Amino acid sequence: MKRSAVVLFVLAAVCLAGAQDKAADAAKKAFEAWNSHDAEKVASMYAADIVYEDVPFGESAKGTAEMKKFATGLFTSVPDVKIEVTTSFVANGHGYLEWVFSGTDKGFYNTGKRFSIHGASVFEMRDGKIVHNRDYYDTGSIMKQVGALK
């Protein structure tokens, strides 16, 4: 009996870890979509009812059409955007990613200068898609690096 319970516990832990790995992979794939610079691909990584919040700039996108528009705007502002995930954690459909966001400022402050900052995303997932995402990062660091803030 005890042996069966241990085996079931181990199997459950392996299955849970596998589900968490799939969720973490799906979240990382969303960032790969951002790196593709394809707004349609970006929007496809999010649920139809996505609520995406860029907290520092006070912007949000609701639904995939707005998500596509938001991505298009970012690609115009930072055409060479690159996001590198450095740390991730997902459990029970909730998680966070830490990342490095870099590129050339062509539209935030129109300086043409490069920047690189650390940030984090807190998200919720359902059926392999992100349904709520909040991004946090320091806009002051961007401003200093591109010369918009002394």
* pLDDT band, very low/low/confident/very high, at 97 (cuts 50, 70, 90): very high
pTM: predicted TM-score of the whole model, two decimal places: 0.83
Cα–Cα distance for residue pair 42/24, rounded to 1 Å: 16
Q: What is the pLDDT of residue 19?
A: 53
What would the CATH number be for the domain defined by 2-146? 3.10.450.50
**Count of C-beta atoms within a 10 Å radius of residue 119:** 17
The answer to whether residues 92 and 99 touch, using CB atoms and an 8 Å cutoff, is no
- pLDDT single digits (tens) 19-38: 566 777 777 788 899 999 99
Burial zone of 20 (CB within 10 Å; 0-12 exposed, 13-18 middle, 19+ buried): middle
pLDDT, tens digit, 9 for 90 and up, residues 64-85: 999 999 999 999 999 999 999 9
